[in-house]
Structure 1
Amino acid sequence: MENYWDILIFFLGGLGFIAGGLITARLVRPSRPNDEKLTTYESGEEPLGAARGRVNTRFYIIALIFLLFEVEIIFLFPWATVFGDAERVNVTNGLWGWFSLVEMFIFIGVLGLGLAYVWKKGFLDWPKAEIQKSEFKSPVPMSMYNEINKKYSK
């Protein structure tokens, strides 16, 4: 139980540090609200429409696939620490090292099969938007555009 007191002290110290910074900032900063500051900020653009817009489900599929393969790193780290333990590998005459190496290749092989399956099913393909050609007829002749382009491209 004694070790947990150290953790509690560090946790409370961290909370105190954060609270102290927020309280100090609140006391020091000026408060001058106006209409511009109270508007919603959306990447420098004025927000249009409702905030609850539809999102393409392909974003979710890509995010899930990313998380699946990102978790691979979490499982490979313990493998690397065990495989890098020279004492454990030497005790078993190298048998432990070969076992962990084969185990790692099987694990990455299963993930590779998962990636091949996702790729084959087309979940990683993103449909390209069709470009619609404009039927606009300009009263300005094309030769004038070409002259302007030549003039400013130099």
Structure 2
Amino acid sequence: MMYLLDALSTPAQYLPIAIQFAFGVLFVAGMIAISHFLGPKRNTSDKLDTFESGIEQIGNARQPMAIKYFLVAILFVLFDVEVIFFYPYALNFKSLGWEGFAAVCMFVTFFFAGFFYIYKKGALKWED
């Protein structure tokens, strides 16, 4: 019975963590404020000029860009995150049994349904 009471946590046990978190936030905010107030403020034309990896800028940076690049990037992130869900199954496939196998088959079916949907919508075609 005594072991069960020791396992229960109370809010007082989290006080050191809260103090450390508050100290960390105050320290970071204080260092930023000190550097802002005490740091040099010399705004020259060279400092205010746009820097593009040492290359002179040509034209306007606000030119329209094809949405295909962003769409492919978003789709990559989407399917990359979905693939991450295969890892826990790979680690526990023996203990999950046939129910786990059925769940993964259903997940793969949804995965391919999404892939075929974006393929049919033309999201992967680069020609205009």
User: Taking structure 1 as the reference length, what is the TM-score of the superposition?
Assistant: 0.52
Q: Which residue of 2 aligns with 1:139?
A: none
1:65 matches 2:75: yes
Contact persistence 1:41–1:47 (CA under 8 A): no
Contact persistence 1:40–1:47 (CA under 8 A): no
Within the candidate set 25, 38, 41, 2:48 is matched to 38
Q: Which residue of 1 aligns with 2:104?
A: 104
CA distance in 1, matches of 2:21, 2:83: 28
Q: Secondary structure at the match of 1:84?
A: helix
Q: Secondary structure at the match of 2:72?
A: helix
Q: Deviations over 1:75-103 (max 9, x none)?
A: x17x817x6398xx3xxxxxx42211221
1:55 matches 2:77: no
1:7–1:112 Cα change, 3 Å: farther
Q: Which runs of 5+ in 2 are unaligned?
A: 1-10
Q: Deviations over 1:40-91 (max 9, x none)?
A: 2344432633x543232223422432343234156x17x817x6398xx3xx
CA distance in 2, matches of 1:47, 1:19: 38
Contact persistence 2:93–2:100 (CA under 8 A): no
How far apart are 1:37 and its partner, in Å? 0.6
Letter in 2 for 1:110: F
User: Taking structure 2 as the reference length, what is the TM-score of the superposition?
Assistant: 0.59
Contact persistence 2:72–2:124 (CA under 8 A): yes
Q: Which residue of 2 aligns with 1:123?
A: 123
Which fold has the larger relative contact order, with Cα–Cα distance below 8 Å and residues 6 or more apart in sequence? Answer: 2
1:85–1:21 Cα change, 3 Å: farther
- Name the Cα RMSD after superposition: 3.7
CA distance in 1, matches of 2:30, 2:56: 34
Q: Secondary structure at the match of 1:36?
A: helix
Q: Which has the higher helix share?
A: 2
Q: Which residue of 1 aligns with 2:88?
A: 80
Letter in 2 for 1:34: T
Of structures 1 and 2, the larger Rg is shown by 1
Contact persistence 2:118–2:124 (CA under 8 A): yes
1:15 matches 2:15: no
Q: Secondary structure at the match of 1:37?
A: helix
